[in-house]
């Protein structure tokens, strides 16, 4: 599929950011993150008949609405119109969000009928002036709108993970769409920039203590590929019944899907190495809901932390694994959140990192799970022309990189199923995609059109 860039520009806030807001200081939990872009892709069909010229006019009008509403939204989300600095802050210089328009010489329906996950990356905006992984001067956010020759558009929005987590991302997208539908009566959610007050940053925060640097020992180098396993509501209900126990009577959808995926992935690694190795099953947890009292869902930043479940048994049952996952997640309570707040937050974070490294020094394998199922708004991103027919993340197409296996869990369009975007070494994926126990509950790469 050929995708050609048509134009590039920066969308500036519709009014200037006040001088006292020109520097946005990141919080302690933002410092723990590394600069990479969180990317989401929203697929919108045109669903209209008529002359191609009319279709072009409709797509052009949509594009203008996107730009104007984005400009207005950036008045509230002003850090996204700036650039990251080397001192853990955002220079809110109003240069604007990098905005790229592209055209695809194919049909959106044709692409969605059998999506090639590695081609999704063609919808990502690429700033030629930006060096991969470099923090200083990096755009806080980017957008690309790709129009298809036979109708339909894909909107790819990206924000730096150092600025915020997926809940921050969802709040921004919700605000953007509400602004686009400004004639509706809905309230526009305003961002809250108090994270550095709750979790004060450490001025001399060392780069070696960010999440990427600390995870180096778990990285594997090779050809990584992405596959999408879809669990429908009926299959999840059967899994929940199987995983129920006296310890966890009502396991969550995420717990049972995580447990089912972890078993064959560990088995694939064991097949290649010849022996079972202790493995971390790592989940990112939203701390806003763990705090006492809870923090606002519109609090901007990376208000998340990870928990590890150590799996040492090569034949662990799903119900036992669910119990271990629940126990680990429960550990992140209000007291833990409080320990990261105030003047002692950095010291306590360092102690947490040190304790994990010392106790589990022999653990070299990790599977990272990112739960986006808790965030219900992805399929409500309606700019005035209807809700997206599909929402996706990016994928790997056999690129040689150095990371550890990771899985993104997202809701299906109806909200009762789960799409698991699994990123593994190619040899491991070849074993996983034919695992009979997994395929008894999941469908491999089905069309999102149904």
DSSP string of 301-354, one letter each residue: S--EEEEEEEE--TT--HHHHHHHHHHHHHTS-HHHHHHTSSTTHHHHHHHHHH
Q: Is the peptide bond before 149 cis (omega within 30 degrees of 0)?
A: no
Q: 407 or 315, which is more confident?
A: 407
The tens digit of pLDDT for each residue in 136-161 reads 788 999 999 999 987 899 999 999 99
What is 3-198's CATH number?
3.30.559.10
CB atoms near residue 84 (< 10 Å): 23
Arithmetic mean of pLDDT, 363-381: 90
| DSSP result, 414-434 | TSSSEEEEEEEEHHHHHHHTT
pLDDT confidence bin for 133, thresholds 50/70/90: low
pLDDT of residue 130: 57
Structure tokens at 154: 């894909």
Contact by Cβ (8 Å): 174, 166: no
How far apart are the C-alpha atoms of 359 and 347, rounded to whole Å?
Answer: 18
Domain 211-376+385-444, CATH number (from 3.40.50.300, 3.30.559.10, 3.30.360.10, 3.40.50.720): 3.30.559.10
Report how far residue 118's alpha carbon sits from residue 396's, in angstroms, rounded to the nearest whole number: 5
Predicted confidence (pLDDT) per residue in 15-27, tens digit: 999 999 999 999 9
Q: pTM to 2 decimals?
A: 0.94
Instruction: Return the pLDDT at 185.
Output: 55
Share of the chain above pLDDT 70, in %: 96
Confidence (pLDDT) at 93: 97
Closest C-alpha among 34, 28, 21, 7 to residue 301: 28
Predicted confidence (pLDDT) at residue 271 exceeds the cutoff of 90: no
Residue 399: what pLDDT?
74
- For the chain, domain boundaries: 3-198, 211-376+385-444
Q: What's the chain's average pLDDT?
A: 91
Please name the residues in contact with 367: beta carbons below 8 A apart, sequence gap of 6 or more.
262, 265, 266, 279, 280, 281, 282, 404, 405, 406, 407
Beta-bridge partner residues of 352: none
For the record, the structure tokens of 269 come out as 């690694």
What percent of the chain has pLDDT above 90?
74
Predicted pLDDT at 356 = 87
Query: pLDDT value at position 188?
Result: 72
Least confident of 139-143, 276-280, 410-414: 276-280
In eight-state DSSP terms, residue 139 is B
CATH topology of 3-198 equal to that of 211-376+385-444?
Answer: yes
CA 73 – CA 426 distance, rounded (Å): 41
Q: Which of 257, 258, 240 is nearest to 249 (CA)?
A: 240
* Residue 358's pLDDT band (cuts 50, 70, 90): confident
Q: Who contacts 167 (Cβ-Cβ below 8 Å, separation ≥6)?
A: 286, 288, 297, 303, 375
């Amino acid at each position: 599929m050929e995708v050609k860039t048509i134009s590039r520009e920066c969308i500036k806030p519709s009014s200037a950011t006040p001088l006292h807001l020109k520097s946005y200081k990141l919080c302690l939990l933002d410092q723990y993150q590394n600069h990479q872009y969180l990317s989401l892709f929203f697929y919108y069909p045109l669903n209209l008949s008529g002359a191609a010229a009319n279709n072009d006019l409709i797509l052009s009008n949509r594009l203008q609405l996107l730009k104007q509403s984005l400009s207005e939204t950036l008045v509230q989300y002003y850090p996204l119109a700036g650039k990251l600095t080397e001192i853990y802050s955002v220079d809110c210089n109003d240069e604007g969000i990098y905005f790229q328009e592209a055209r695809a010489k194919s049909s959106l329906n044709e692409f969605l009928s059998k999506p090639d996950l590695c081609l999704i990356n063609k919808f990502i905006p690429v700033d030629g002036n930006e060096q991969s992984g470099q923090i200083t001067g990096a755009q806080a956010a980017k957008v690309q709108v790709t129009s298809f020759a036979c109708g339909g558009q894909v909107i790819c929005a990206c924000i730096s993970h150092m600025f915020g987590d997926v809940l921050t991302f969802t709040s921004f997208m919700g605000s953007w769409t509400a602004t686009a539908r400004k004639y509706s009566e809905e309230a526009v959610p305003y961002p809250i920039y108090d994270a550095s007050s709750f979790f004060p940053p450490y001025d001399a925060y060392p780069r070696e203590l960010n999440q990427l640097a600390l995870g180096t020992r778990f990285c594997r180098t090779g050809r990584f590929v992405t596959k999408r396993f879809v669990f429908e509501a009926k299959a999840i209900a059967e899994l929940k019944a199987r995983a129920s126990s006296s310890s966890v009577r009502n396991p969550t959808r995420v717990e049972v899907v995580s447990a089912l995926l972890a078993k064959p992935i560990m088995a694939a690694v064991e097949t290649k190495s010849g022996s079972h190795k202790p493995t971390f099953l790592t989940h990112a947890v939203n701390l806003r809901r763990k705090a006492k009292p809870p923090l606002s869902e519109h609090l901007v930043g990376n208000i998340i932390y990870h928990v590890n479940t150590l799996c040492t048994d090569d034949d662990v049952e799903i119900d036992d694994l669910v119990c271990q996952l629940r126990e680990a997640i429960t550990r992140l309570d209000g007291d833990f959140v409080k320990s990261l707040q105030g003047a002692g937050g950095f010291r306590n974070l360092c102690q947490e990192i040190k304790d994990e490294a010392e106790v589990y020094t022999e653990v070299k394998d990790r599977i990272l799970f990112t739960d986006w199922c808790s965030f219900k708004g992805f399929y409500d991103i309606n700019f005035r022309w209807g809700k997206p027919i599909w929402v996706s993340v990016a994928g790997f197409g056999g690129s040689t990189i150095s990371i550890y296996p990771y899985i993104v869990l997202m809701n299906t369009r109806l909200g009762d199923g789960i799409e698991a975007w699994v990123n593994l070494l190619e040899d491991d994926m070849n074993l996983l995609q034919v695992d009979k126990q997994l395929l008894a509950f999941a469908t491999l790469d089905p069309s999102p059109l149904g």
